[in-house]
């Protein structure tokens, strides 16, 4: 009997010693993690607030709960007597978030096979950024991925190559801010990092040849969604920092982010009380408050599609109402400001819609 007891006891003792060894081995690791978090205490607090915000917005954000304005078709007859702005939408390149969560141009099977490794990779980066005390994130205000940067590099090369026919000259002159261009224009961007980097990279030649020009960040352009990739990491009024990806592969972007971006309108992340409808309306007011005739905006696919759904006439069956713009896609149109009683209405003239690059 005693022998059986001894044999039974062995696994328990063995398990106990194993657990003890593992705990001893892991202890330096836990101490290290704790030390890192305490060493970067202000950053750790910031990161904890980001996690809290992520859940807050997921449960309480009503960004997609808004009514579109009345049928824009009713105002079409007033367009000839109304003022207008030319608007250009430029969708950002692929972000790290989408690298993890959306198939994009990958085959479905490849995407599924790569999903778990991709998720592990992104969490690994998130932990690395957290422990090294960087105000940066894979998920939160998700930055351009390597692939996203290459997509916008292609847009920049397309713009600097110039038009293939003389009829397009005017469009290229406008986008490139060429000296002879009859129309004035301003570069704008959403307050999210991937949109701003898209404008910095896509319009790098324009920025280089117009050294006094600034990119105006406007919070109305912040993406319509409750996901953490659409929350802004940049505190009010501060300049944006390049992501760890850009720091490594595109260091020339930081001087642009630091000295060529006007952040005075950036009053921080979208408030919980905001929604897509109020931000789109505030964008229209902003666009018409600008002295320039054309407003070029770096922004986001759901925001852009919502804008077309809201400001094209109901009868319009334009593709922009159904499909999202592709990464790097560049679309141009005229937006009109029509007087209606005591107020103003904004209307897109469908006839002026024009794909400059990429499309839907």
Ligand X SMILES: *[C@@H]1O[C@H](CO)[C@@H](O)[C@H](O)[C@H]1NC(C)=O
Min CB(332)–ligand X separation in Å: 21
Min CB(45)–ligand X separation in Å: 13
- Which CB, 220 or 234, lies closer to ligand X? 234
Cα dihedral 229, 232, 234, 238 sign: positive
Residue recorded with tokens 């159904």? 322
- Which CB, 229 or 246, lies closer to ligand X? 229
Residue recorded with tokens 């990279």? 201
Min CB(99)–ligand X separation in Å: 9
Min CB(52)–ligand X separation in Å: 18
> Cα–Cα–Cα angle for 260, 207, 252, nearest 5°?
70
Cα dihedral 175, 178, 180, 182 sign: positive
- Which CB, 324 or 354, lies closer to ligand X? 324
- Which CB, 47 or 72, lies closer to ligand X? 47
Min CB(63)–ligand X separation in Å: 12
Measuring CA to CA, which residue among 173, 207, 172 is closest to residue 189?
Answer: 207
Angle between helices 41-60 and 2-39 (to 10 degrees): 100
Q: Are strands 83-91 and 330-340 parallel, antiparallel or unpaired?
A: antiparallel
Q: Interface with ligand X by CB under 6 A: which residues?
A: 95, 97-98, 102, 135, 142, 229, 234-235, 238, 241, 300-302
- Which CB, 185 or 234, lies closer to ligand X? 234
End-to-end CA separation in angstroms for the chain: 79
Angle between helices 169-176 and 146-161 (to 10 degrees): 120
- Which CB, 139 or 333, lies closer to ligand X? 139
319, 325, 326, 327 alpha-carbon torsion, rounded to 10°:
170
Min CB(210)–ligand X separation in Å: 25
């Amino acid at each position: 009997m005693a022998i059986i007891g001894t044999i039974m006891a062995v696994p328990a003792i063995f398990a106990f010693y194993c657990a003890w060894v593992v705990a001893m081995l892991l202890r330096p690791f836990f101490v290290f993690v704790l030390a890192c978090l305490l060493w970067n205490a202000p950053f750790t607090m910031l990161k904890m607030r980001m996690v809290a915000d992520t859940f807050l917005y997921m449960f309480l954000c009503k960004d997609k709960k808004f009514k579109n304005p009345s049928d824009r078709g009713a105002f079409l007859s007033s367009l000839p007597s109304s003022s207008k702005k030319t608007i250009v939408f430029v969708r950002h390149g692929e972000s790290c978030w989408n690298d993890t969560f959306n198939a994009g141009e990958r085959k479905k099977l490849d995407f599924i096979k790569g999903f778990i490794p991709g998720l592990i990779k992104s969490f690994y980066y998130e932990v690395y950024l957290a422990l090294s005390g960087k105000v940066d994130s894979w998920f939160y205000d998700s930055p351009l991925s390597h692939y996203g940067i290459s997509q916008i590099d292609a847009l920049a090369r397309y713009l600097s190559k110039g038009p293939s026919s003389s009829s397009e000259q005017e469009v290229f002159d406008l986008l490139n801010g060429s000296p002879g261009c009859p129309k004035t224009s301003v570069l704008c961007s959403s307050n999210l990092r991937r949109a701003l980097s898209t404008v910095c990279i896509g319009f790098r030649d324009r920025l280089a040849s117009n050294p006094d020009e600034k990119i105006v960040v406007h919070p109305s352009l912040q993406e319509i969604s409750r996901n953490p990739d659409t929350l802004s990491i940049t505190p009010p009024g501060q300049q944006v920092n390049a992501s760890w990806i850009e720091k490594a592969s595109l260091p020339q972007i930081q001087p642009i982010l630091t000295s060529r971006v006007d952040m005075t309108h950036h009053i921080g992340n979208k408030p919980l009380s905001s929604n897509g409808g109020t931000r789109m309306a505030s964008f229209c007011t902003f666009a018409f408050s600008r002295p320039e005739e054309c407003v070029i905006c770096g922004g986001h696919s759901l925001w852009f599609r919502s804008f077309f759904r809201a400001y094209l006439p109901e009868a319009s069956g334009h593709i922009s109402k159904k499909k999202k713009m592709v990464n790097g896609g560049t679309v141009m149109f005229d937006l009109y400001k029509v007087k209606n009683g005591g107020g103003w209405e904004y209307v897109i003239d469908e006839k002026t819609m024009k794909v400059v690059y990429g499309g839907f």
